[in-house]
């Protein structure tokens, strides 16, 4: 099975999104951990996170939270699909050229 384009939840890569949504905090577990209310699509993910993995939400009256649901498999993996190509560039070195592609 090819693993190109398949990313693990929580593994940070250069172009992968670092945060997947805003979720309600249910309770504080210990001094530095929190239990979150995750949707059913993320039922395979443990719902207790260290505070260093969370980002503070600054409330704004005009901000509407609309996150996309991610289809997560049983092995907690999902496939990323590019939306469209923003820019193509090519860097020429002495003996070869390296293509660069900016994808949204």
H helices, E strands: number in the chain: 0, 7
Phi, psi of 10 (to 5 degrees): 90, -15
In a domain, 87, yes or no: yes
**CA-to-CA distance for 64 and 66, rounded, in angstroms?**
6
In a domain, 1, yes or no: no
Domains held by the chain: number: 1
In a domain, 20, yes or no: yes
pLDDT of res. 7: 57
Domain range for 86: 6-103
In a domain, 34, yes or no: yes
- Rounded to the nearest 10 degrees, how much is the dihedral formed by the CA atoms of 16, 22, 24, 26? 20
Across 88-104, average pLDDT: 89
Indicate the SS3 state at residue 38.
Answer: coil
**33-76 pLDDT, tens digit each:** 999 888 887 777 888 888 888 877 777 777 666 666 777 777 77
């Amino acid at each position: 099975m090819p693993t190109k384009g398949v990313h693990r939840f929580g593994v940070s890569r250069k172009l992968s999104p670092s945060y997947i949504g805003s979720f309600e905090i249910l309770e504080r577990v210990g001094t530095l951990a929190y239990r979150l209310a995750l949707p059913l699509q993320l039922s395979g993910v443990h719902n207790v996170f260290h505070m260093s993995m969370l980002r503070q939400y600054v409330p704004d009256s005009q901000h509407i939270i609309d996150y996309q649901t991610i289809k997560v498999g049983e092995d907690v993996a999902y496939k990323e699909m590019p939306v469209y190509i923003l820019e193509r560039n090519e860097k020429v070195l002495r003996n070869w050229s390296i293509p660069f592609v900016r994808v949204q």
